């Protein structure tokens, strides 16, 4: 029998990473927001949270936040983020001290979109919508944030 920690993630990429994709996300955010408004951008991020991450959302719906924690651990490690995850009795806190996406865009693009972190805020919110959990995302500085999973009251 395979334990939960050994099961592969739904999306379990390995190999090399292409950080320039974060630059394309930044370009896309500026493009969508300038032509269609911020609501359109949030609609797309919500689709990512609900449809692309349907598997993680399914775990949240079933009362299981561990799959999202494993997802965070895997992908933040892959991109060499400076982060930690604290699992407590009442909440799970992901602290990102250096976000690889924000810092890479800051290096290669003329500017980081003021809506760049909406990808995290809105995708998290959409994943958790209608589940027993809420995910609060607080931007704590340039390329830094805290993401907290709590059971809804």
Binding residues vs other proteins (CB under 8 A): 10-11, 13, 15-25, 27-28, 31-32, 35-36, 40, 43-44, 47-48, 51-55, 75-76, 78-79, 81, 96, 99-102, 108, 119-120, 123
Is residue 111 classed exposed, middle or buried when 0-12, 13-18 and 19+ CB atoms within 10 A define those classes?
A: exposed
Distances (CA, A) of 39 to 115, 118, 128, 134, 151: 11, 11, 19, 21, 27
Q: How far is the CB of 124 from other proteins (least distance, A)?
A: 10
Between 11 and 151, name the residue whose CB sits nearer to other proteins.
Answer: 11
Instruction: Give dist(CA 104, CA 121) in Å, integer.
Output: 19
Between 1 and 7, name the residue whose CB sits nearer to other proteins.
Answer: 7
Between 23 and 152, name the residue whose CB sits nearer to other proteins.
Answer: 23
DSSP 8-state class, residue 9? P
């Amino acid at each position: 029998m395979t334990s939960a920690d050994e099961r592969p993630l739904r999306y379990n990429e390995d190999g090399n990473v292409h950080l320039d994709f974060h630059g394309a996300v930044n370009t896309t955010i500026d493009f969508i927001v300038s032509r269609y408004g911020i609501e359109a951008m949030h609609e797309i991020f919500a689709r990512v949270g609900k449809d692309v991450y349907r598997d993680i959302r399914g775990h949240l719906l079933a009362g299981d936040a561990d799959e999202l924690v494993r997802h965070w651990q895997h992908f933040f490690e892959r991109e060499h983020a400076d982060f930690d995850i604290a699992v407590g009795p009442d909440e799970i806190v992901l602290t990102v001290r250096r976000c690889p996406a924000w810092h890479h865009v800051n290096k290669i693009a003329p500017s980081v979109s003021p809506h760049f972190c909406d990808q995290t805020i809105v995708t998290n919110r959409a994943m958790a919508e209608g589940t027993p959990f809420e995910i609060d995302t607080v931007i704590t500085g340039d390329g830094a944030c805290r993401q907290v999973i709590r059971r809804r009251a």
